[in-house]
């Protein structure tokens, strides 16, 4: 199949380009990129793309799948379909499934059971919020699996890291705090020769205690148990000391405070081999939003104070925070319909992140389109030890076509994910993915 995208806005962080071009795609490859393309075959499908944005496929560093173990929340098939509808061409699931992804046999099983149909030869898939999710027929993203660091994520005994690496996991993480620093040190020593990414979520659970909201005036005002900033920053400081001693590269997950950004900036300036990510909701909302007591605003780590959100945005733009992760965390209605402090923490986001980030960061001109796209595509790929190709001829077509102006309503019939735990449920959004190639 040959497609010509006419007058599309190409956003390419690899080439640092944000310009209008014609783009010719055939047999899964980008064939030509030029200001005007007229020499095409008779069977070429021509699309007027004025007002549309074409960028490298989005890459999600970490999210949760319900399957195996909690298929009522999310199956692998629904997870991948939601990711495709959100513009993602590569996604990575955390190992905290049931059973935990801590052995090569389960890795092989999940790789075979990824579900759905993936388009051959780079075929694109179209998405419409007005159509039934069950009607989706499209290419599906490449699925990465994080391997667990500890057996059953109990935090006491390491998995067979070398065997998991050979089985094809993208890297190692438990996706939850590891507070045994002696074990963390040993993990860093063992992983050094394997050349796989390792990600940690630094958080001191003793300091977190029973808190559910970031410490500050809003926590007092809303009467919710607070979590001090030091619960995150002391754990990050300890992690940085270990990295400085051992030298194994580390990715720091779920950065949520201004002080954490300062610590990471200083560590990078000193040459430590670290990367870092925050989540999309921590860039869009702060503690003021918790006034609604919507259980989907109960996150872990919690939403920051306004100064934290501002620092995270500045950190992403400056490259101190390398990537924006989605951390898609589906829960059933029954699990979330509880009091704020009692509901399990987490929210969905694969289908919502790009439209909302574009609307509130790019259209307000706080971020450039290149800055946002870099943090959602090329940078997260690099954190995984991968590369995303430039939008140039002869490269495989791994692309996302996005309409910043298309409006749609977030409701059950417009979502491919099986869960609905989001504070934007029932709201009109502006911006929707039109097509992906992968």
Catalytic residues: 327
Q: What is the DSSP letter of 194?
A: G
Torsion sign across C-alpha atoms 35, 36, 42, 48: positive
Torsion sign across C-alpha atoms 83, 84, 88, 89: positive
Percentages helix, strand, coil for the chain (3-state, rounded to 5) are 35, 25, 45
Contacts of 16 (CB under 8 A, 6+ apart): 370
H/E segment holding residue 269? helix 258-269
261-281 per-residue burial string, b: 16 or more CB within 10 A, e: under 16: bebbbebbeeebebbbbbbbb
Q: What is the DSSP letter of 375?
A: H
Contact predicate 329/353, CB 8 Å:
no
CA distance 247 to 139: 39
- SS3 (DSSP) at 123: coil
149's tokens: 């660091």
Q: What phi, psi does 46 have (nearest 5°)?
A: -100, 130
State the burial class of residue 360 (Cβ atoms within 10 Å of its Cβ: 0-12, 13-18, 19+). middle
Q: What is the DSSP letter of 432?
A: E
């Amino acid at each position: 199949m040959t497609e010509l995208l006419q007058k599309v806005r190409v956003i390419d962080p690899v080439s640092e380009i944000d310009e209008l071009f014609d783009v010719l795609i055939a047999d899964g490859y980008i064939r030509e990129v030029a200001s005007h393309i007229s020499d095409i075959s008779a069977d070429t499908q021509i699309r007027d793309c004025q007002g549309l944005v074409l960028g490298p496929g989005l890459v999600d560093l970490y999210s949760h799948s319900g399957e195996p173990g909690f298929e009522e929340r999310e199956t692998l098939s629904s997870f991948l379909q939601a990711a495709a509808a959100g513009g993602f061409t590569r996604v990575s699931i955390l190992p905290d499934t049931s059973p935990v992804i801590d052995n090569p046999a389960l890795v092989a099983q999940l790789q075979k059971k990824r579900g759905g149909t993936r388009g051959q030869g780079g075929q694109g898939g179209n998405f419409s919020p007005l159509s039934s999710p069950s009607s989706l027929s499209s290419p599906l993203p490449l699925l990465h699996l994080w391997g667990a660091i500890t057996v059953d994520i109990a935090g006491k005994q390491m998995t067979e890291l070398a065997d998991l690496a050979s089985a094809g996991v993208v890297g190692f993480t438990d996706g939850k705090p590891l507070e045994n620093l002696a074990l963390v040190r040993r993990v860093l020593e063992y992983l050094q020769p394997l050349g796989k990414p390792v990600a940690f979520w630094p958080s001191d659970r003793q300091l977190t205690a029973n808190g559910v909201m970031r410490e500050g005036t809003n926590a007092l005002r809303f009467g919710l148990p607070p979590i001090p900033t030091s619960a995150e920053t002391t754990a990050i400081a300890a992690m940085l000391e270990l990295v400085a001693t051992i030298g194994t590269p580390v990715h720091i997950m779920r950065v949520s405070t201004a002080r954490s950004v300062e610590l990471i900036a200083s560590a990078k300036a000193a040459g430590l081999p670290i990367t870092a990510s925050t989540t999309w909701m921590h860039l869009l909302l702060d503690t003021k939003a918790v006034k609604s007591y919507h259980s989907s605003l109960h996150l872990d780590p919690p939403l920051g104070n306004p100064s934290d959100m501002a620092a995270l945005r500045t950190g992403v733009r400056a490259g101190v925070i390398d990537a924006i992760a989605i951390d898609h965390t589906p829960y059933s209605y029954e699990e979330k319909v509880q009091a704020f402090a009692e509901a399990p923490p987490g929210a969905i986001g694969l289908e919502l992140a790009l439209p909302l980030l574009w609307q509130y960061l790019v259209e307000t001109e706080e971020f450039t389109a290149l800055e946002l796209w870099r943090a959602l595509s090329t940078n997260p790929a690099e954190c995984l030890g991968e590369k995303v190709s430039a939008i140039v001829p002869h490269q495989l077509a791994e692309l996302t076509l996005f309409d910043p102006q298309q409006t749609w309503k977030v409701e059950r019939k417009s979502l491919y994910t099986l869960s609905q735990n989001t504070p934007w449920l029932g709201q009109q959004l502006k911006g929707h993915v039109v097509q992906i190639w992968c």
